[in-house]
Amino acid sequence: MKKIILMLALLALGCDAPVIEGQGFWAGQEGDETFVAGPSETTDLYNKFMDAHNDRDIETIKSLLSEDLVIWHSDGSRVEGRDAHLEALQSWFDETNPTFNPFWGMPYVGVNNGETWMIAAHNSKTTLDGVDSYNSHMLDLQAKDGVISMIIVYSRQLPPPPPQD
């Protein structure tokens, strides 16, 4: 019995805790970072966010955003604050009647700093003065405490879809 206990003790001492190795890299302001796949709750947050946009549900969108939200647009402009964003968003909804078609997304978490993000993409259609425009957007959304705290938007214009028979 003593030999079995001794062997188990040696075996336990010989085992190392698993090391989480991330993929990718970030060499930004706070040093090196790697990433692992994130929680499904982050995907759920993104899906609720996009559904609320398609439903024009400003109250739900508001509930999914932090008060100190920051949005970086691909043209270099920045929106600071949830209320400023919601005011501009409501105006944009009214002017362009947008629709959104999410088609890709993946949550991820920083191994060293634990930040939770979602990278996702959707296509959109807007109509202004009777003219339809089509765009593809990739969003990098940071989630903190169950709400979105930062969005980085990358956009490109798409050609109109082919006519349907």
Identify the CATH number of the domain in which residue 123 sits. Answer: 3.10.450.50
Spatial distance between the Cα atoms of 47 and 120, rounded to a whole number of angstroms: 10
115 domain-assigned: yes
The count of structural domains within the chain is 1
Q: pLDDT per position in the chain (165 positions), as tens?
A: 666 665 555 555 555 555 567 776 666 666 677 778 888 999 999 999 999 999 999 999 999 999 999 999 999 999 999 999 999 999 999 999 999 999 999 999 888 778 899 999 999 999 999 999 999 999 999 999 999 999 999 999 999 988 887
51 domain-assigned: yes
Spatial distance between the Cα atoms of 103 and 152, rounded to a whole number of angstroms: 17
62 domain-assigned: yes
119 domain-assigned: yes
Q: Which helix (H) or strand (E) element contains residue 54? A: helix 40-54
1 domain-assigned: no
Q: Which domain holds residue 145?
A: 34-158
